[in-house]
Each structure stands twice: as C-alpha cells, then as structure tokens.
Amino acid sequence: MINKLIFLGPPGAGKGTQAQKLEKDYGYKKISTGDILREEVSKSTDLGKLASQYMERGLLVPDDVMIQIIKKWVNKFDKFVLDGFPRTLKQAEELEKIVPIDRVIYFEITKDEVIKRLSARRICPKCKVVYNLLTNPPKNDEICDLCGSKLERRHDDAPEVINKRFEVYEKQTLPLLEFYNSKDLLIKIDASGNIDEVYQRLKKVLFYQV
C-alpha cells in the first residue's frame, strides 16, 4: 500500500493542487508546510512572525523550526501527502528518522510555465483552496466556491520573490532528487498540461503501475 507520500517540485508546479485532489478522492491528508506557516503568519504567533521574515523574501525557514513542526503532524495520520517538506537534505535525513515514506513524486515542469501559473494564482485565506484566474478560476469573480471568502494573492507570488524562490529551490531542494532516487523511492511525472491531465498521470503511477 502506498500511504505516505512526498510531493517534490519547483514552486508553482501544482503540488498543492494535486495533493488537494488526492485528499478529496482518496483520503490522503494534505500536510502542506506552506499552509501551516501561512496560518501562523495570519495569526501573528511567534512562529508566524519568525517565518514571515523568511517567506517574504523567498527564503527557507530554518531546518530546526520546520522539523519540529513536521514531527507534530506526521504521526497523527496513517495516510498523507507531504506538500513542501522536505526542502533540504537535513530535513530529508531527519524525516527518515521520524517516519518511513512509501513514494516521492517529482513534478517536472519548466520555469516559464510555473511563472505563468503563479502570476494568476489566488488562494482562499479560510479553507486554503487554490485557484488560478486563467486555468482554474472560481465560479464567481475572486470568491471561494466553497466558503464564499474573498480570494487573496500570496505575498510571495510577486515576480521578484518568485525568482528568489526558484533560485533557493535549485540550490537547496533539487539535491533531494538524487537522495530519493538512490533509495529507489523517486517517481517523476510530467507536470505540464491541465490539472486533470496531471491528475491522470499521478493516479497511474500511484495506483496502476506500482
């Protein structure tokens, strides 16, 4: 059984969108470290204040902080997708000590494509559903279909921060491909095309071909 998943890929590759679909259709708990941090930022907790200093600049929040967060979450669920964790080799090594992972899905996509996606992304501040004004719009202009909240743009989707996030991703997160490949856990999927096309590819590798 494939119960414990990691989604890896550049910012805007569609990890959160696909995790949301797996949660709805198959009961995988979506554990998004980005969502957890944004919630803390919106409540102005000590953690939120610390995290926002990094997030606003497109930098990673320090490993020891992230590892403490993830420890609290992963042991609560038998079936989950980690969306946005691990992001560094240190985080991956620590995660191994906490819980065994069944598969790591890498979302392969070009930088040009993700810049297009991120520029039109909107999120619901309340229920965290992710929309896209071009490719996955809400039914009513910038209003969440599920809870009626006004949708928001993420602060880190500003063009200069997107570039920084990409740089950080290439330097600190890309080495994880080799780490998981060497453990025979890595599966790459083509993350271009529309949301349903990517979802079909994802289900194929998870449920029909493994």
Active-site amino acid positions: 15, 87, 121, 154, 165
- Single-letter amino acid code for the residue at 24: K
33 binds ligand AP5 (CB under 6 A): yes
List phi, psi (to 5°) of 165.
Answer: -60, -40
Please identify the residue of the shown chain whose CB is closest to the bound ligand AP5: 34
Smallest distance, Å, CB 85 to ligand AP5? Answer: 4
104 binds ligand AP5 (CB under 6 A): no
> 68-74 contacts: CB < 8 A, separation 24 or more?
69/33, 69/36, 69/37, 70/31, 70/33, 70/95, 70/98, 71/98, 73/31, 73/36, 74/31, 74/98, 74/99
Q: Which of 209, 204, 205, 202 is nearest to 15 (CA)?
A: 202
In which order are the strands placed within the sheet that holds 186-190?
A: 29-32, 80-83, 4-8, 103-108, 186-190
DSSP code, position 92: H
Q: Would you give the end-to-end CA distance of the chain in angstroms?
A: 10
User: Which range of residues in 81-89, 93-101, 140-148, 178-186 is near ligand AP5 by CB under 6 A?
Assistant: 81-89
54 binds ligand AP5 (CB under 6 A): yes
60 binds ligand AP5 (CB under 6 A): yes
Residue 145-174 contact track with ligand AP5, rule CB under 6 A, x = bound: -----------x--------x---------
132 binds ligand AP5 (CB under 6 A): yes
103 binds ligand AP5 (CB under 6 A): no
15 binds ligand AP5 (CB under 6 A): yes
Interacting residues toward ligand AP5 by CB under 6 A: 9, 11-17, 33-34, 37, 54-55, 58-61, 66, 84-85, 87, 91, 117-118, 121, 130-132, 135-136, 156, 165, 193-195, 198
